[in-house]
Amino acid sequence: MIGKTLSHYKILEKLGQGGMGIVYKAEDTRLLRMVAIKMLPPAFAKDEKRIRRLLVEAQAASALNHPSICTIHEIEEVDDTHFIVMEYLRGRALSEEIIRGRIHWERALQIGIQIGEGLENAHSHEIVHRDLKPSNILITEEGKVKILDFGLARVFREVDEQMLSRAVTQEKNLTETGQVVGTIHYMSPEQFGGRRVDARSDLFSFGVILYEMLSGRLPFQGNSVYEIMTSILKDRPEPLSSNTPGVPLPFQRIVEKAMAKENQKRYQTSTEMLEDLREFRTGQKKEKQKPGEESIAVLYFENMSGSKEEEYFRDGMTEDVITELSKIRNLKVFPRSAVVEYRDKPVTAPLVGQQLNASCVLEGSLRRSGNRIRVTAQLVETREGHSVWAERYDREMKDVFDLQDDIARNIAQALRITLSPQEEIEIALKPTENTEAYDYYLRGRSYARRTTATDMEYAIQMFEHALSLQPDFALAYAAIAIAYCHLSHSYGANPLWMPKAHLAADRALALDPELPEALVARGGILIAEGHYEEAIRCTRRAIERKSDCESAYWILGRGLFHAERWQEAADIVTEVIQSSGDDYNVYVPYQVALERLGRKEAVLQLREKHTQILQRQLEMVPEDARARILLANNYARSGKEKEAIRELEKGIDLRPSDAGMLYNSACVYAILQRKEKTLTTLGKAAAAGWSNPHWAEKDPDLAFVHNDPEFIQIMEEVRRKSQKS
């Protein structure tokens, strides 16, 4: 069919094939638009039964006009070829997304509400889908849900009872064409027994889809069609709570109710189920927004030591107190990214509490002298501004972990929170027994955040020194691995960096297989090796255990980018910024994902936030060349050519031979549409050791030269060089 014309539709390519027909992409030569055409396979062109089904699909779906349902334009017959003309949609089936692993409950909820809205519209027109399954649900490039294939739908009052299968026991009967309407795993119990099928059958299938999205597995399974059917009729699915941590209980209950065996116990209408989904979403939003009686923001302690060199210790102590408090499940703790902008600024605790919507704020000061440490801390109630609790601690450095634990426990007591035995154990855990090793770890972490190559290498030295003092310090091994991942990604000229990252990550995981930082390091290595899906799963595990785990969202964003899972990246942007918004590296993959989706307004908002973070970083670390080149990129995107070139030139002056700097400079030139400079600089980057053509070929910054023969040649040369090495 490719190249042929039916009526005024020119067939361009085959999109897919199923039991009900073949789908092609075609050009509507009259209206000059792309459409999708669905027709019966030639072998069945004379099959009256199939033709009738095709007509029913068109008649049913053409009565529907809803954003969550694929639009039917018309039905045609040309030379005994029957076909339906539908809107052409770019995207992927929900089934493809589920195959990659379970979907976070917030995204599953977002998808589910759109499915529910489509079903509500169809059911209001007395149309039942009867074959609802992930392969019949498309997620467009814009993230919108489209329900496809109403080929098995029937008007309520015209249900053809002969199309329903009766419960049979022989496998061969179940597999005969037409014996069972629908796809076995998603069918409702009544579809097997020849009972009347109504909207509640769609809701059962909808519940199965939600269960599969949330858990990554089907609720009803078996080794044969008969076993699956029996499971649907008799078995109770494994509770989501037992295999899918983190899914809120109200959401689980919605899914369970939808999958009730008896249709009288299910939701009776799609509107009723949709209302519950929306009410749950509203409740979650309110939960995030409400002040609450148990939320706290921890301000950075004031450094009273009189030495700027001691700020790394002050920062480390503050952040570790945040970590300790985060172990208390009934206490909402704002991440470091939310409070870092208040560091060393003359702000009051009540003002910060009001701005962050926190009920309490912890403020204090820290002084270290020799092996002694003094910390004063005060918990301030936001609304009235009075002190809830205050304490002064004078300790030796060897007792620093006990000091952090005491602060966490005292705050819990002041807020009348009773710690569970598990929380007591978690708070008592120490990152290391050696406080000197801990001190070197904090020094290294401080340098690593500056992200220049020199600072990264110095950070690694600090981490290695910590390990010389405490050889089983898992956090230090993980920090080394992450540092090498950063170096390789941004300055990838040294072939030894990733092997060293691998060794350090393996050691960290051997010491603590569930350490979030070690999982992040492993994710970075998996990306370097091209295992993107596994990297995504690994970093998500880390985030589940520690929501603000350093570099986690940066690694996750890169994994989602490489896997072309743009919408998933876009869906978590708010979450990313809340947890890691002070890390300027984290913005890049998410901004690119939004650009890929054409979300212009969201891109502008994210770029503005990113620009502010970069400007703040350069105020603190003017020699950060990477921050300068990223700022140049943002200026170029905003049409500020003069400012872009200024920052680019400053960055190049700082690191004229750095591969990462040269690649990013080429991106800036491409945005400014300076073709010769783009390709010349890209060639220099490749010569200096840059080696990531997979990223470059998708990078929207380089769209200006993607089809240029010289660009293609540079990419081929980079690949050849990588294969040789």
Q: Which string of DSSP letters, residue by residue, matches 340-384?
A: GGGTTS---HHHHHHHHT-SEEEEEEEEEETTEEEEEEEEEETTT
- What is the per-residue burial (b if ≥16 Cβ within 10 Å, else e) of 19-41? ebbbbbbbbbeeeeeebbbbbbe
Residue 290: per-residue pLDDT: 45
Residue 436: per-residue pLDDT: 93
Residue 708: per-residue pLDDT: 93
For the chain, how big is the Rg over CA atoms in Å? 29
- CA 616 – CA 624 distance, rounded (Å): 11
Question: What structural domains and CATH numbers belong to the chain?
Answer: 5-87 (3.30.200.20), 91-286 (1.10.510.10), 295-428 (3.40.50.10610), 434-597 (1.25.40.10), 622-725 (1.25.40)
Residue 44: per-residue pLDDT: 61
List the beta bridge partners of residue 74: 85
Residue 163: per-residue pLDDT: 36
Backbone φ and ψ for 661, nearest 5 degrees, come out as -65, -40
Closest CA to 198 of 133, 119, 278, 134: 119
Q: How far lies 604's CA from each of 320, 519, 536, in Å?
A: 34, 32, 26
Residue 41: per-residue pLDDT: 65
Residue 296: per-residue pLDDT: 94
Residue 481: per-residue pLDDT: 96
List the beta bridge partners of residue 25: 13, 36
- CA 416 – CA 639 distance, rounded (Å): 54
Q: Decide the pairing of beta strands 21-28 and 9-18.
A: antiparallel
Q: Is the dihedral of CA 17, 20, 22, 27 positive or negative?
A: negative
Determine whether 416 is exposed, middle or buried from the number of CB atoms within 10 Å of its CB (0-12, 13-18, 19+). Answer: exposed
Q: Which two tokens stand for residue 46?
A: 């004379």
Residue 274: per-residue pLDDT: 94
Helices (H), 383-473: 400-414, 421-428, 435-448, 453-469
Residue 286: per-residue pLDDT: 53
Residue 536: per-residue pLDDT: 95
> Quick check: 361 and 352 in contact, CB under 8 A?
yes
Q: Decide the pairing of beta strands 81-87 and 72-78.
A: antiparallel
CA 513-518-524 angle, to 5 degrees, is 130
Residues in the chain with pLDDT values less than 50? 154-182, 289-292
Longest dimension (CA), the chain: 93
- CA 239 – CA 219 distance, rounded (Å): 9
Residue 75: per-residue pLDDT: 79
